[in-house]
Amino acid sequence: MMSAQLSDPSASMAVRVKGLSKRFQGGEIPVWSDVSFDIPYGQRVAIIGANGAGKSTLLRSCVRLVEPDSGEIFLDNKKVTGLRRAELSKIRARVGFVFQKHNLVNRLSVLTNVLHGGMARLSTPRMWFHAIAAKEERDYAMYCLERVNLGHLCNRRVDELSGGQSQRVAIARALMQKPGMIFADEPVASLDPQAGEEVMQVFSDLSQHEKLTLVFVTHHLDHALKYSDRVLGLQNLRLTLDASSKSQSLEQLRGMYE
């Protein structure tokens, strides 16, 4: 494997994956096997690889939205594999997920959608109600919106926003969770080039200024080089690339698709 010494093995890590393997039921071959990597706090990591290489499966496996068959996962230095549901939920709440499709509630306001993100921190519908109503939660939601440069659109309905704006609202909603890390699965796949750059810049700024660990799946190899510190690549059922982004060229990354 092409690899770089990108982390101190004894240091505390945002994400630690050891010997992870996954085969879906009925699948003849594993999606990937023996995948290992450590991600230090605050690092920006791009995951690349051809369609079907297992990028989404890997991202989801890290929080056990997909159950790996073997191997160990640690998030925030807590072992995630083997945890019961209630404990797992607490750890998941530390991870903000952003998907290609933003899953916002279209007929509600931007601010209300962002407030929904705070529910992941709270355990009961009763608490959710108070949280939505509480001034400090609303102030925090405004703060999250300002971090993605959308404070001025707080009262707009989501269905009046552009795709890029909607994705920035989805990021603000994830921030409302007060996450230590953000996992984003092809977050700009449906955006035009300029909106895509703006959204990636928002992610990158958040990560760099607030030590937020960022792991994103992308097919935009230029984004992988520009907005990450490190690139992980899946190919032929393995993690075959783990390198500093600075050490890679577009040409080298294209090799992951051959």
Residues that bind ligand ATP (CB under 6 A): 24, 27, 31, 49, 51-57
Smallest gap from residue 217 Cβ to ligand ATP (A) = 6
Which CB, 40 or 49, lies closer to ligand ATP? 49
Beta carbons within 8 Å of 52's beta carbon, 6+ residues apart: none
235 and 32 in contact (C-beta within 8 Å)?
Answer: no
Which CB, 140 or 227, lies closer to ligand ATP? 227
Residue type, 156: R
Which CB, 52 or 193, lies closer to ligand ATP? 52
Smallest gap from residue 17 Cβ to ligand ATP (A) = 15
Of 217, 205, 215, 234, the C-alpha closest to 22 is 234
Beta carbons within 8 Å of 65's beta carbon, 6+ residues apart: none
Which CB, 59 or 161, lies closer to ligand ATP? 59
Smallest gap from residue 66 Cβ to ligand ATP (A) = 7
Smallest gap from residue 219 Cβ to ligand ATP (A) = 6
First and final CA of the chain: distance in angstroms? 16
d(CA 10, CA 114): 37
